[in-house]
Chain A
């Protein structure tokens, strides 16, 4: 059975599902209780679960993240909300220096079953300090798992997996998509990490993305089909670490051409990793160099027109696809 729900509802449903299943699961974050959460993800939960399971914290990311790391080390399973992932820079020491390394330092004796979640990326005019796509940043550090679901079904299924994972999980939500709707499986629909999703099947070119760029790629794939007769496959990576190399290799072995799309800046990004994996493992299948489409190399602008210009556009992705197909750009 599947029901249509918003991304926000699916996310909340997953957390409630785990709170019901396991008393050790608690929620922490700024304004998530009485106020209901800045993005209303946790709206109403404090009434049902009380302030010990749904904890309002001070405006002190490093402090409450550190507290959560400690709780996790002691066997609890905290889900920490970053009001936006931009504020996680303040907690980076706790996330990178402690959460990611305690298990390693302790020779596996102490685990950190911690989930840190919140909206990631831009697109809603929050300007430079509140607009970052951090999947490559956190994906860089061994010891962290990093996921970026884009569909309501995946956000629920991956949250279930995240809570159950004995390691710290950086859970990057598509902040601009909390209101989007989609079919969500009832009950336990846990989605494994490290498995990409073929969002659309095609034969001529593979578009690889994650987060809200997946939706962009799906639009572009439809346009390419209509305008150019090109059959594009769209792969939603959804799990950045662990990474599903096989899925992209398999697809490129079929299509022989690939475009990697990311909202973040081009340098040292996930798309570069995708391109490297393809040239490494599917070299003899390639008909063209792998194209990357990325954000402009500037801090995110506030003005709507500039913000749109700073992020990958339908046109940029479609033309990248045409280039790898050796077709005329439009």
Chain B
């Protein structure tokens, strides 16, 4: 039988939803080719062709619910005819289907038209027929090794200029682009031409394996508000998704008794009051985290095109929350700076970060990040490593707790939790554990911050 039916995929199944067509009308189909994605209440799966031929007609549209045994498409074998002339009823049905399709098409186009940002989702939802033109336009020459490097390193070759004959992209072009870091498929170079690129991205880096979850249409009711993600939100989203998916994180938490550090802070702030300096707990924490790095260079490391680059100087990135997003300005060579300088710089950077006044070189080049949520009373949290760095430290609030002194008496103690998140490709658990206990040692003996 050349018709394709909605299969029965479970005893309780009555109907299935046609999620997505994987082929288009007119495609040549071989037995076993995946035709469409079907979803039941329990699972989703692909329907495979049981016949070979040409996909003459698509009967069910994406999103349609089809009862078991209902026809969803027609595959025309050699010498067979599309059952248009069989009976009036079927013909009418077929025509109706055709209209539905036309309407659906128009609707999609209208949406895309009204949506100036017209981004990835649209591109993926488009039936494959719509992509043919873009694919033709997006063609370019590249040598085989370039294509391999692009696949291995997740590069977008449309961002690379070719220096070979007829603009062929050759190895030296792609190596140079990798060194500059401006060929990443999900890179930060969004500013250039986001529209053109988002249209090309699905073609250059076809999603293999992992597919994003199917998103619902917005309700658009009176009590809902539809918000476009800002560019910054989108970049943060992409980078954090990439980091969380690609970096094998491990975590190590220590609890630190902060009484000595608090006392020292109080003493220093009293002395420095006239100079207008007020040291924050975070200044102490950042300095301690930097000083403790001395013996653990692979936590102060950058992942590069040619392996991990261990850095001697600590360029401390500090996460600053903004109204819509966050940014990580950098205090350079922080170990060489005193607490007062760190305090001044961090305040200045934070203020200007919120005002949007940072220069690019002020938020680039960090080698490790500290993210502090202590001011919000958070007991503990874990952060996502900030690529290409190897580690980030999550700082939580100081909380008064009962604790035992050396005589076994219960005494009040100011405790703070720090959680390290680190890239397991660069550092191992032992590095993380030893480093975190060194941070604790420094903060519990804060005079060490002075040397």
Contact = CB atoms under 8 A, between A and B. Distances in A.
Interface of A: 256, 283-288, 326
Given A326-B163, A326-B164, A287 B148 contact: no
B170 A284 contact: no
A214 to B, nearest CB: 26
A284 B142 CA distance: 11
Nearest to A283: B144
17 contacts: A256-B145, A256-B171, A283-B144, A284-B144, A284-B145, A284-B147, A285-B145, A285-B148, A286-B143, A286-B145, A287-B143, A287-B144, A287-B145, A287-B146, A288-B170, A326-B164, A326-B170
Interface SS of chain B: helix, strand, loop or mixed?
A: helix
A94 to B, nearest CB: 45
B311 interface: no
Contacts of A285: 144-145, 148
B231 interface: no
Contact of B172 (A283, A284, A326): A326
Interface in B134-149: 143-148
Contacts, number: 26
A284 B148 contact: yes
Interface residues of B, number: 11
Given A284-B148, A285-B148, 9 more contacts: A256-B171, A284-B144, A286-B144, A287-B145, A287-B146, A287-B171, A326-B164, A326-B170, A326-B172
A287 B164 CA distance: 10
Contacts of B148: 284-285
A277 to B, nearest CB: 15
Contacts of B146: 287
Complex A-B, nearest 8 residue pairs according to Cβ-Cβ distance, in ascending order: A287-B171, A287-B143, A284-B148, A286-B144, A287-B145, A284-B144, A256-B145, A326-B164
B147 to A, nearest CB: 8
Interface string B156-169: 00000001100000
Contacts of B144: 283-287
A196 B23 CA distance: 49
Contacts of A288: 143, 164, 170
A288 B172 CA distance: 11
Most buried by A among B163, B171, B172: B171
A326 B167 CA distance: 11
A256 B172 CA distance: 11
Interface string B170-188: 1110000000000000000
Contacts of A286: 143-145
Nearest to A282: B144
A326 B146 CA distance: 14
B152 to A, nearest CB: 10
Nearest to B162: A326
A132 to B, nearest CB: 35
A252 to B, nearest CB: 10
Nearest to A253: B145
Contacts of B145: 256, 284-287
A124 to B, nearest CB: 39
Contacts of A256: 145, 171
Nearest to B163: A326
Nearest to B164: A326
A224 B143 CA distance: 23
A287 B171 CA distance: 6
A203 B144 CA distance: 18
A283 B147 CA distance: 11
B172 to A, nearest CB: 7
A6 B163 CA distance: 47
A147 B143 CA distance: 34
A295 to B, nearest CB: 26
Interface centre among A256, A283, A287 (most CB of B within 10 A): A287
B306 to A, nearest CB: 15
Interface string B211-249: 000000000000000000000000000000000000000
Nearest to A256: B145
Contacts of B171: 256, 287
Contacts of A283: 144
A33 to B, nearest CB: 56
B77 to A, nearest CB: 36
Contacts of B143: 286-288
Contacts of A326: 163-164, 170, 172
Contacts of B147: 284
Nearest to B146: A287
Report which residue of B145, B170, B171, B172 has the largest number of chain A beta carbons within 10 angstroms of its beta carbon: B145
Nearest to B172: A326
Contacts of B172: 326
A192 B10 CA distance: 64
A284 B171 CA distance: 12
A287 to B, nearest CB: 4
B309 to A, nearest CB: 22
A129 to B, nearest CB: 41
A287 B147 CA distance: 10
B160 to A, nearest CB: 14
A286 B147 CA distance: 10
